[in-house]
Structure 1
Amino acid sequence: MKLPDNIQGLIKAQNELDSTAFAAFFTAEATVSDEGSSYSGRDEIKQWIQQATEKYHMQLKPIDFNQTGSIAELTVDVSGTFPGSPAVMHYHLELDGSLIRSLRISG
């Protein structure tokens, strides 16, 4: 499966536990929705992913990727120290060029 550079980079940043690099793939005004909470802007996104990574030590393995225009869905196998690991998750993305405008994570 061929992934766009920005999606490859996002996965790599997560798997290397690099919250700064992860947040850099988002626009300055981006939003993330995960587990009933929302985060806005790179600083909040960086704090969210850093806390989640420290708590769950998540690793992502891409399963599928589909994109139509600026809308994309990345399906990943997520493993870590959380109940039910590993789990298949869906990353619903709205892209703005090479950056992510929004991310909604669902199970």
Structure 2
Amino acid sequence: MNLPKVISALVKAQNEFDSTAYANCFAETAIVHDEGKVHTGRTEIEHWIAESNEKYRSTMKPLGFQENGTSGILSAEVSGTFPGSPLTLKFHFNIVDGFIQSLKVTD
């Protein structure tokens, strides 16, 4: 599967539970929508993913990627210490200048 460099870096950071490397995939002013909450800016995103890693220990296995200009949807099997694991989730990205500008996680 041919993933954009920043998405490959994000998956690697997630699977290594590296919240700093994960956050560095995002633009300074990026926005993440997950579990009914909004996280704005790289620092807030780093805190969110660090808490999520601590709570769920989630890993991602990419299943498919659809790209349309600066937008893309990654389908991934997500496994961790949460009810219903593993789940297939969709990660809706907007990527500009090699950084993620926005991410929305849906099922």
Question: TM over 0.5: same fold?
Answer: yes
Name 2:21's counterpart in structure 1. 21
1:35-50 equivalences under 5 Å are 35-50=35-50
Name 1:30's counterpart in structure 2. 30
Where does the alignment leave 5 or more consecutive residues of structure 2 unmatched? none
Q: What percentage of aligned pairs have identical amino acids?
A: 45
Name 1:65's counterpart in structure 2. 65
Task: Output the TM-score relative to the length of structure 2.
Answer: 0.98
**Residue type matched to 2:46 in 1?**
K
Where does the alignment leave 5 or more consecutive residues of structure 1 unmatched? none
* Deviation, structure 1 residue 21: 0.2
1:73-88 equivalences under 5 Å are 73-88=73-88
Task: Output the TM-score relative to the length of structure 1.
Answer: 0.98
C-alpha separation between the residues in 1 aligned to 2:30 and 2:78? 22
C-alpha separation between the residues in 1 aligned to 2:11 and 2:61? 8
Q: Once superposed, which parts of structure 1, at least 4 consecutive aligned residues long, lie more than 4 Å away?
A: none
How many residue pairs match? The answer is: 107
C-alpha separation between the residues in 2 aligned to 1:70 and 1:3? 13
* Deviation, structure 1 residue 3: 1.1
